[in-house]
């Protein structure tokens, strides 16, 4: 029985530790953007960003996910243990961006569910 318990716990731990980010709803995202130590990361194109973006007490930065320098650009402005609040238009790019950010060593990554299109 103990072996089975250990196996289940190990599988659960591995599954949780491979998550690239925590998806949050609008309400939680609003709470998180009140933290001035967080960085709001808009991974849409500059054209999309110019049409509107999410602001808060935290700084908002636009870094195009399709840029060849995506990770390097973020590494130059954010600390690995800084809270990153990531969104795109609908959630596809931000999910990929969060996986890349985790691989790069960032630890506190929150993704807005539904992206900017779902923002209220």
Exactly one of 14, 16, 88, 98 is catalytic; which is it? 88
* Distances from the Cα of 118 to the Cα of 3, 26, 42, 71, 110, angstroms: 45, 8, 14, 25, 15
14 is catalytic: no
Extract the runs of DSSP E, i.e. beta strands, from the chain.
22-24, 39-42, 59-62, 83-87, 108-112
Active site residues: 88
């Amino acid at each position: 029985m103990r072996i089975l318990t250990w196996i289940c716990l190990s599988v659960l731990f591995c599954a949780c530790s491979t998550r690239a980010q925590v998806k949050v709803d609008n309400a939680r995202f609003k709470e998180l953007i009140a933290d001035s130590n967080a960085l709001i990361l808009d991974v849409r194109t500059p054209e999309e960003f110019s049409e509107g973006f999410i602001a808060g007490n935290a700084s908002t930065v636009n870094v195009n996910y399709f840029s060849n320098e995506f990770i390097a650009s973020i590494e130059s402005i954010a600390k690995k243990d800084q809270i990153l609040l990531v969104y795109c238009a609908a959630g596809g790019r931000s999910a990929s961006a969060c996986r890349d950010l985790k691989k790069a060593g960032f630890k506190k990554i929150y993704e807005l569910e539904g992206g900017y299109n779902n923002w209220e």
